[in-house]
Amino acid sequence: MSTMTNSTAPRPDLPALYRRMLLIRRMEERLGDVVQSGELPGPVHLYIGQEAVAVGVCAHLTDADWIASNHRGHGHFLAKGGTPHAMVAEIFGRDTGICHGKGGSMHVADFSRGILGANGIVGGGIGLAAGAALAAQLDRKSCVSVVFFGDGGANQGVVSEVLNIAAIWKLPLLLVCENNGFSEFSPTSTVTAGEIAARAQPFGVPGITVDGNDVISVWRASAEAVGRARAGRGPTLLEARTYRWRGHVETEKSFLSEAYREDGEIAEWRARDPIVRLEMQLLEGGTAQGDIDVIRSEITGEVERAYAQALADPTPPEASAFQHMLA
């Protein structure tokens, strides 16, 4: 089935993937610290632990391709080329934010880079991505559209509506379900029947399950799916099995009366850290520890600069609250 096995097949640029995954991790860790300090105006949903999925998929995309994301959208924004400072300034409600402080964490979007936006409605991006796929098909420029949703979003009816319509029209669409174990505060097994990837099969759409903590596996599977879409052969559903290290929302311990998972489970998944795994793969592949250290230190600096600048940036003028509703 795989078209990626011959010797001329492209190979992932592992240092580049590592750099991008580490950027997401450090940005999100820093955001988690800010939440603890109480300096953040609104809720945030952190992507820590799932970095291999966004990065492995988006490595195949250009600014001319589209993605639609969800409430846990910072990783997708950064993986698709969104600017770290513009994202964090948005989350701080600053005028320099990518949406000038009018969207916030759940609505970071950059249309100039093909980012249709994070989305506060679970499953809300799925129809949008299908529409962008329709536009891409009409444009005939071999562009594709990708939607990221979770195992929670997989239970929205729009998934089957879009699988159906994308299959009939052969839309250049990749549906990426990040199965991170939890539908908000409910373990997936308690609210989700069967296998998510298998839901594609009745529509005649390939449904593929990958290890979402292995960026190389994600990269390979999405290379094939994106290739299919670009070639006009229609949609693919990719289920990436991963794990949400942090809460559904960062502040959840302040309002939840009981735990919904065991600490041991989190520890078990932390031992399968996709970034540590990629480091091992880099070292095995001959990358020097010194080169990895350079990347780490560069990312630390980039994250520090993004946060320092965003914190120093001005808040938007009040009058802007009354603008941009209509064109």
Partner 1 sequence: MAKKRLIQAINEALSEEMERDPRVILFGEDVKISLFGDTKGLADRFGDQRVRNTPIAETAMTGMAVGAAAAGYRVVCHMMFANFLYTGFDAIANQAAKLRYMTAGQIRLPIVYMAVMGAGRSAGAQHSDVPYPMLMNLGGIKVAVPSTPADAKGLLKAAIRDDNPVVFLQPARRGGEQGEVPDGEHLVPLGVADCKRAGSDVTVVAIGAMVRHALRAADILQQENVSVEVVDPRTLFPLDEAAILASVRKTGRLVIVDEARTTCSAASEIAAIAVEKAFNALKAPVRRVTVADVAIPYAPTLEKAVLPDEQTVARAVREVMGAGR
78 to 38, 85, 119, 171, 190: CA distances (angstroms): 24, 10, 15, 25, 32
- Residue 315 beta carbon to partner 1: minimum distance, rounded to whole angstroms: 13
User: How far out from the chain centre does Cα 198 lie?
Assistant: 21
- Residue 51 beta carbon to partner 1: minimum distance, rounded to whole angstroms: 24
| Nearest residue (CB) to partner 1, 136 versus 218 | 136
| Nearest residue (CB) to partner 1, 31 versus 132 | 132
Rg for the chain, CA atoms, rounded: 19
- Residue 134 beta carbon to partner 1: minimum distance, rounded to whole angstroms: 5
Round to the nearest angstrom and report the end-to-end CA distance of the chain.
47
| Nearest residue (CB) to partner 1, 168 versus 283 | 168
Pairing state between β 207-211 and 236-241: parallel
- Residue 169 beta carbon to partner 1: minimum distance, rounded to whole angstroms: 7
- The whole-angstrom separation of Cα 150 and Cα 35 is 23
| Nearest residue (CB) to partner 1, 4 versus 165 | 165
List, in order, residues 6 or more apart from 81 with CB less than 8 Å away. Answer: 58, 63, 110, 113, 115
Judged by the rule CB under 8 A, the positions of this chain that interact with partner 1 are 66, 68, 98-103, 107, 109-112, 116-117, 119-121, 124, 126-136, 138-139, 145, 157-158, 161-162, 164-165, 168-169, 320, 323-327
Q: Angle at CA 223, nearest 5°, toward 220 and 228?
A: 135
| Nearest residue (CB) to partner 1, 54 versus 132 | 132
- Residue 261 beta carbon to partner 1: minimum distance, rounded to whole angstroms: 29
| Nearest residue (CB) to partner 1, 66 versus 219 | 66
- Residue 183 beta carbon to partner 1: minimum distance, rounded to whole angstroms: 18
- Cβ atoms of 88 and 306 within 8 Å: the answer is yes
